Amino acid sequence: MDDIGTVVSLSGASAVVKINKSKKCNACKACTFLPGQDAVNVLAENTKGAAVGDTVRVKAEKPLAVKASLLCYLMPLAFALVGMAIGVFFGELVTICAFFGGLFLGYVVLRVFERAVAKKREYRPAVAEILKKAEEAQN
């Protein structure tokens, strides 16, 4: 992800950056836009000391986004398949229930993992550059 946005608030060493949806957002999917939504707020490491109102470039490492996407899709699927494999020994209804139980458990584990990873700085996007200071925009 490499996008331009406006800093809307600061929180410690992080900045909340409002990024407007662009054409390349449809291919990336790093930010989650709801139907009809034209902007998203992204929590980014404020490595350049941006202030509220500054226009900034936000970057996230692509390999990390790919790794996160793989986890989001594969972890619940893996749990579902393991549940199904275990359920096969107990009958058809148990297999179906074990599949959906494994799928649910996979999403729960993913959510716990996501909260732990979100605290690590290397997985967060960062302010790469300040393009325009807030006071310059007002003049």
Neighbours of 85 (CB within 10 A): 13
State how far the Cα of 103 lies from the Cα of 61, in Å rounded to an integer. Answer: 28
Residues near 38 by beta carbon (within 8 Å), at least 6 away in sequence? 20, 21
User: Which of 38-42, 74-78, 93-97, 98-102 is the least confident region?
Assistant: 38-42
Mean pLDDT of 113-123: 74
For residue range 54-86, list pLDDT tens digits in order: 999 988 776 666 777 788 889 899 999 999 999
The reported pLDDT for the residue numbered 104 is 95
**Type and span of the H or E element at 128:** strand 126-132
Percent of the chain surpassing pLDDT 70? 78
State how far the Cα of 55 lies from the Cα of 53, in Å rounded to an integer. Answer: 7
The reported pLDDT for the residue numbered 90 is 93
Confidence band of 134 (pLDDT split at 50, 70, 90): confident
**What's this model's pTM, rounded to 2 decimal places?**
0.60
Domains of the chain are: 1-60+124-139 (2.40.50.140), 61-123 (no CATH)
State how far the Cα of 136 lies from the Cα of 22, in Å rounded to an integer. Answer: 24
**Beta carbons of 31 and 19 less than 8 angstroms apart:** yes
